[in-house]
Amino acid sequence: MSSGRLTHAAIRALDWISARTLPPDNLPQHQRIGRRGEEDAYFYLRHRGYVMVARNFRSPNRRGEIDIIGWDKDVLCFIEVKTRTTRAVKPAEAAVDRDKQRNLAAVAREYLRHLAPSCQWRFDVVSVYYEEHSCQPQFEVFQSAFPAS
């Protein structure tokens, strides 16, 4: 078993144990599903070769959060994860509208202030679907999902 799969299995086991021993999580169902989607997307991207450097990055100077930051070869990726339980309404990636893009760009600029100015970077969106008929989540990765303006 590869180290990524072992780590993922260990986290799932700890989640299972905590669900049975800790007080109930008072988060709404959609937030619990969103967290699970971010976790599964993290391991999916690692499996695809991304090297992760941060999760849930927030800037004290800007509003918003970047779900995952990681390197895809020599390009730094700011990754927004959108999770859904159905495809019936609209695609998950459609939720990354112009306002969300502006917020992500502002937080990304704060992060980039600490890196070399010549660093290549982009915004990716990962859609995660947990549909009833499927036991495994389905992923769609949109590289360079919107301009880095």
Q: Where are the beta strands (DSSP E) in the chain?
A: 51-58, 65-72, 75-84, 120-129, 138-146
Report the pLDDT value the prediction gives residue 63, as an integer from 0 to 100. 85
Which domains, and CATH codes, for the chain?
A: 28-146 (3.40.1350.10)
Q: Rounded CA gap, 135 and 126, in Å?
A: 19
pLDDT along the chain (149 residues), means of 10: 75 78 72 89 96 93 92 96 87 89 93 84 95 85 87
Render pLDDT for 38-71 as a digit per residue (tens, 0 to 9). Answer: 999 999 999 999 999 999 999 888 888 999 999 9
Report the pLDDT value the prediction gives residue 89, as an integer from 0 to 100. 81
Report the pLDDT value the prediction gives residue 3, as an integer from 0 to 100. 66
Q: Rounded CA gap, 26 and 115, in Å?
A: 38
Task: Encode 117-144: b = buried (16+ Cβ within 10 Å), e = exposed.
Answer: eeeeebbbbbbbbbeeeeeebebebbee
Residue 130, C-beta contacts closer than 8 angstroms, at least 6 positions apart: 33, 36, 37, 83, 84, 85, 137
The answer to whether the CB of 79 falls within 8 A of the CB of 124 is: yes
Nearest to 123 by CA among 97, 146, 149, 92: 146
Q: Rounded CA gap, 19 and 25, in Å?
A: 8
Q: Cα-flanking dihedrals φ and ψ of residue 68, to 5°? A: -140, 140
